[in-house]
Chains A and B, each alone.
Chain A
Amino acid sequence: MTVLKAKDVERVVKLSGSGRIEKDVPPKFKPGDRIVARNFESKGHTRLPRYVRGKRGVVERDHGVYVFPDTNALGGPQNPQHVYNVRFDFREIWGEDAEANAVLHIDLWDDYMEPAE
């Protein structure tokens, strides 16, 4: 087993721990698209919070291609796909009594979304 040495600390903390990868994967969505967050029960790992599942939002920004945590975190395939920032109105998420004039921005992978009808 490799043990981290003091002289290597600065170099190691600069290493990328990002899931971003340079891979040419076509996006399934584009800014302006209306989407609905999928509603599934994960038996393993997911970065899709329960509070947005089944809710409708609008794609704001394409962040590029990243590994898919639901499969990658379990040692499975990287399943690279686009991650987007998606905007949800507070009323859509929390209902009629939601605090006024507030929106949620959250990052969703392609496989977390379906086109809204």
Chain B
Amino acid sequence: MGDHDHTAPLPDVVLRVKTLESLLVEKKLVDPEALDALIDLYENQIGPKNGARVVARAWVDPEFKAWLLKDATGAVASFGFASDKGKTLVAVENTPKVHNLVVCTLCSCYPWATLGLPPVWYKSAPYRARAAKEPRSVLHEFGTELDDDVEIRIWDSNAEVRYFVLPERPEGTEGLSEEELVELVTRDAMLGVSKVSAPKGRDA
């Protein structure tokens, strides 16, 4: 608070949220401390770093990778993240011949516990409509080009299962530790809109 411009009126959405929040607090329907705890949880404790740890582990530990691809719910639970919904998780593996892309065409279903808060574009109508219809164009706009012989698999998270992508480990990262690999894995790569890049100077 206090960092916005006091001379300009607030955008409608912000104004509406602030009004609703103060009303709910005033009527004692919402405890402001619980609200702060929820925001802290999703901003600082649950985030894409969770998913990055899962991916890095799969890259260095073949047994864990096999478990993750067979039973992602169990494999991810072994990390003990502050999980949000107990949803069934499925990890889908990118290979040189298969590229996976995650979308929810019905709304914005997303693996919150593993990836944190969904990005705005993931919830936007254009992404939801186009990812399932023209994925190569969408990937191109994200700067991701695939050869024609790479099969694209779209995963519509329309029901009770939450999907995320196990990206390919970039070449030139053979000498990196699990902790160093965690730093390379991005949220976008775990949704399939981009690939994981090797750190600069380490390209094969």
Contact assessment for B30 and A103 in the assembled complex, using a CB-CB cutoff below 8 Å: no
Query: Quick check: is A41 within 8 A (CB to CB) of the other chain?
Result: no
Query: Quick check: is B132 within 8 A (CB to CB) of the other chain?
Result: yes
> Which residue of B106, B154, B158 contacts A102 across the interface (Cβ within 8 Å)?
B154
Interface readout for A54-72 with B: 1 if CB under 8 Å, 0 if not?
A: 0000000001101001000
Chain B residues in 8 Å Cβ range of A16: 85-86
Contact assessment for B82 and A10 in the assembled complex, using a CB-CB cutoff below 8 Å: yes
Q: Which of B8-16, B53-61, B144-152, B180-188 contacts A (4 or more CB under 8 A)?
A: B144-152
> Which residue of A6, A10, A100, A108 contacts B159 across the interface (Cβ within 8 Å)?
A108
Bound Cα distance A94, B38 (Å)? 42
Chain A residues in 8 Å Cβ range of B155: 105-106
Chain A residues in 8 Å Cβ range of B37: 6, 9-10
Contact assessment for B86 and A17 in the assembled complex, using a CB-CB cutoff below 8 Å: yes
Query: Quick check: is B87 within 8 A (CB to CB) of the other chain?
Result: yes
In B23-37, the 8 Å CB interface with A consists of: 28-31, 33-34, 36-37
Contact assessment for B86 and A5 in the assembled complex, using a CB-CB cutoff below 8 Å: no
The listed residue with most B CB atoms (<10 A of its CB), out of A15, A83, A107, is: A107
* Known A6-B33, A16-B85; contact A103-B151, beta-carbon cutoff 8 A: yes
Contact assessment for A5 and B34 in the assembled complex, using a CB-CB cutoff below 8 Å: yes
Distance from A73 Cβ to chain B, minimum over Cβ atoms (Å): 12
Bound Cα distance A10, B44 (Å)? 13
Bound Cα distance A100, B147 (Å)? 11
Q: Chain B interface mostly helix, strand, loop or mixed?
A: loop
Bound Cα distance A15, B33 (Å)? 20
Distance from A67 Cβ to chain B, minimum over Cβ atoms (Å): 9
Bound Cα distance A9, B37 (Å)? 7
Chain A residues in 8 Å Cβ range of B152: 99, 101-103
Query: Quick check: is B133 within 8 A (CB to CB) of the other chain?
Result: yes
Contact assessment for A20 and B88 in the assembled complex, using a CB-CB cutoff below 8 Å: yes
Contact assessment for A15 and B133 in the assembled complex, using a CB-CB cutoff below 8 Å: no
Bound Cα distance A47, B105 (Å)? 10
Contact assessment for A3 and B160 in the assembled complex, using a CB-CB cutoff below 8 Å: no
Bound Cα distance A69, B158 (Å)? 11
> Which residue of B83, B135, B159 contacts A47 across the interface (Cβ within 8 Å)?
B159
Chain A residues in 8 Å Cβ range of B33: 5-6
In A85-117, the 8 Å CB interface with B consists of: 85, 94, 99-109
Query: Quick check: is B20 within 8 A (CB to CB) of the other chain?
Result: no
Residue of A nearest to B33 (CB): A6
Chain B residues in 8 Å Cβ range of A63: 88, 160-161
Bound Cα distance A17, B37 (Å)? 19
What are some 17 contacts across the A-B interface (CB < 8 A)?
A1-B29, A9-B34, A9-B41, A13-B84, A14-B82, A17-B87, A19-B160, A47-B159, A49-B106, A83-B159, A101-B148, A101-B151, A102-B153, A104-B132, A104-B153, A107-B158, A107-B159
Binding site for B on A (CB under 8 A): 1, 3-6, 8-10, 13-20, 47-49, 51, 63-64, 66, 69, 83, 85, 94, 99-109
